[in-house]
Structure 1
């Protein structure tokens, strides 16, 4: 009996450190933020108001505008970055690629640069060394119309190599026999990438899509630091709005309310993206199987 109980509990002993950290640094702060959001502060006194802050948040046009803005950023940046990462990974995985270790290191190095330093560096490039060239083509990367795309450029530069490394790591786990069989059937490198490698990378692609979206919803460093160079709306991104609400307007309960809503929105859309991509993947597999059967 004791031996059987020990076998059932042994997996939990390995999970316990993670569960403790997960609870302490995610679950507890979320619960505290939710608790804080149920109050308002007046003259230094906290009054319980229930879900009134949430009702106010649903009518907050500026907050929902920032959500739309950051989702636009997530789509643009995610598509460009992941397409570039996948293209680089597939290119380096071909037999024609040379100096693979060198290029893997070069592409991965920007990820080693902290986001704060990357924002400062690119802000300097936008305003100083690149300024004559940008003026010659009449383009201001810090103007309001181009500001979003300037941040897309920073994030793509920083994260493309990281996602490329994930794709390449997944490709190294594929048996060489699959590639050899495809080549014997007459597949060239382009067909091998399209019909073999990309379908095998589908789980990794789904994971990077979700991680990219979650990271995009947390956008803060780039607009916050570039604010020193150009006027940036405090509602450009949800985290900027929350930061301003908490530390400039000292409205901690409402900032906690917006934080909870942002977390829920991120989780909800991440689940929708995961379910949708899996559905599309299964549909594509079903069509491919049907086409192969028809061909046979």
Structure 2
């Protein structure tokens, strides 16, 4: 009887997991395997020729690709820091007792996320265009110049995603017991101390998740610079995805494009794993330090 129940639970769990597993295999695992398989060939006169890892050797010597990787990592760091800091500030301000009309402001801040990225890029492209923007005509600043282009793209991405991350932080804060806040206020904490010493530590897992998701999204940067290239000259190797797109569809070199795609995926996974490891080490040391301080206080009080 017990064995039958265990088997029934196993079958039920498998049935619930089956849709996810099928989609995961069909749209993530299978394309990755096929991309790696394609990267092992070159095309000569329309015929595939097996060359092993030669494409990867060429990719490691491709200065344009690695320059685009460095460029997008710089974008990921700058955009991630600005966006997450802004999202945290908005969430913490709306979580204070002084905030009014909280549902309205949460909706207003979240609305840019509802705008598709392509439409957002087109809209901001019009705003960045000096012939179409009277304000830019009055000042001597061009957001689409080579010096300001990266920061203009950061502005678009922050406008799109800050409200989404703010919603995640606000949702995490709603799960915290109000008794914890009341105890801190009784001990003399003001709103700033409450946010710094209680809310931010409690948000650490959510912050880590948004940091990793933000980095993964940043490494896939494509829509914004690709659409803005219609308004200003942008190199086809500005980002790795633009380089891969040009290699696949402009130069029709699909094997090498697959090689670059596999390398980009490996770089993204490696850096994301490093961020998780560092965050866990820092979190463990922080907990050990807190435990040590509590133990020291107990000894002194005794």
TM-score, normalising length: structure 2: 0.95
Q: By how many angstroms is 1:114 displaced?
A: 0.1
- Distance in 1, Cα, partners of 2:239 & 2:206: 28
Once the two structures are superposed, the pairs formed by residues 123-162 of structure 1 within 5 Å of their partners are: 123-128=125-130, 131-162=133-164
**Is residue 68–residue 237 contact of structure 2 (8 Å, CA) maintained in 1?**
yes
- Match for residue 69 of structure 1 among 53, 64, 71: 71
Note if contact 2:130-2:137 (Cα within 8 Å) is conserved in structure 1. no
Whole-angstrom distance in 1 between the partners of 2:57 and 2:291: 50
Match of 1:46 in 2: 48
Where structure 1 has 5 or more consecutive residues not aligned to the other structure, the ranges are none
Paired residue secondary structure (2:147)? coil
**How many angstroms does 1:272 deviate by?**
0.5
The residue aligned with 2:201 is: 199
Q: Quick one: distance in 1 between partners of 2:238 and 2:278? A: 28
**Distance in structure 1 (CA, Å) of the matches to 2:73 and 2:265:** 14
Aligned positions of 1:112-261 closer than 5 A: 112-128=114-130, 131-261=133-263
Superposed displacement of residue 7, structure 1: 2.4
Helix, strand or coil: the match of 1:97? coil
TM-score by length of 1: 0.97
Which residue does the alignment assign to 2:25? 23
CA distance in 1 between counterparts of 2:271 and 2:46 reads 37
Give the corresponding residue for 1:284.
Answer: 286
1:3-44 per-residue CA deviation (whole Å, 9 max, x = no partner) reads: 332223332221111000000000001111111111100111
Whole-angstrom distance in 2 between the partners of 1:29 and 1:117: 28
Structure-1 separation of matches of 2:11 and 2:183: 45
- Whether the aligned pair in 1 keeps the contact of 2:121 and 2:228 (CA below 8 Å) is yes
Residue in 1 aligned with 2:59?
57
Other structure's SS at 2:43 match: strand
**Aligned-pair distance for 1:128?**
4.5
Report the Cα offset of residue 204 of structure 1. Answer: 0.1
Q: Deviations over 1:148-202 (max 9, x none)?
A: 0000000000000000000000000111111111111111111110000000000
Q: How many residues align?
A: 296
Q: What SS is found at the alignment partner of 2:227?
A: helix
